[in-house]
């Protein structure tokens, strides 16, 4: 059971209890009074009523916000699927390797797997598709995932 479902159950239970306490409160006020003194509602009864109302509203808000977050995560996952769909198999392998290295690695790491020429071609394709950047520092080329992709792909 997911956290959102648990909060929804807590909200439902608090709503039912809120209705029960409200009916008890109104039931006591609508009965004819036998004595001439005003009927005093217990403070504990009011505190429980307020607490249940807070639980209900809080769980409802949490549930609604979690729906919005889930919708955004679904959009991100679909965008990642589209990104992988436009890549060929070698580019996917290279991108997976970069992601496993936290979005940053040397070009020599790719050259060990694919060979120098093939890794150079893969890197050029990924640069043209605006997926990675190459940062030259001396004789070493550092491959970095674009910051926008880095936030979404590296978890």
pLDDT value of position 118: 92
Cβ proximity of 103 and 145 under 8 Å: yes
Which of 1.10.357.10, 3.40.630.10, 2.70.98.10, 1.10.10.10 would CATH assign to domain 86-153? Answer: 1.10.10.10
The sheet carrying 140-145 orders its strands as 104-106, 140-145, 132-137
pLDDT value of position 80: 82
pLDDT value of position 33: 58
* 96-122: burial string, b at 16+ Cβ within 10 Å, e else: eebbeeebebebeebbeebeeeebeeb
Q: Got the DSSP string for 6-17? A: HHHHHHHHHHHH
pLDDT value of position 50: 84
pLDDT value of position 30: 54
- pTM of this prediction? 0.57
CA atoms within 13 A on the CB side of 58: 11
pLDDT value of position 127: 92
Q: Show pLDDT as tens, one digit a residue, over the chain (155 residues).
A: 688 888 888 888 888 888 887 777 776 655 555 565 555 556 677 788 788 888 888 888 998 898 898 888 888 888 888 888 889 999 999 988 998 888 899 989 889 999 999 999 999 999 999 999 999 888 888 999 988 888 877 76
Domain ranges of the chain: 3-71, 86-153
Backbone angles phi, psi at 31, to 5 degrees: -75, 145
pLDDT value of position 117: 92
């Amino acid at each position: 059971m997911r956290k959102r479902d648990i909060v929804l159950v807590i909200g439902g239970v608090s709503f039912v209890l809120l209705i029960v306490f409200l009916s008890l409160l109104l039931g006591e006020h609508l009965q004819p009074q036998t004595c001439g003194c005003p009927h005093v509602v217990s403070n504990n009864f009011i505190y429980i009523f307020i607490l249940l109302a807070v639980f209900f509203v809080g769980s409802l808000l949490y549930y609604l916000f979690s729906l919005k977050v889930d919708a955004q995560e679904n959009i991100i996952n679909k965008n990642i699927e589209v990104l992988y769909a436009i890549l060929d198999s070698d580019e996917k392998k290279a991108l997976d390797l970069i992601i496993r290295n936290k979005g940053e690695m040397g070009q020599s790491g790719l050259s060990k797997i694919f060979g120098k020429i093939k890794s150079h071609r893969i890197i050029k394709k990924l640069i043209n598709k605006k997926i990675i950047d190459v940062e030259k520092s001396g004789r070493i080329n550092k491959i970095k995932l674009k910051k926008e992709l880095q936030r979404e792909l590296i978890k």
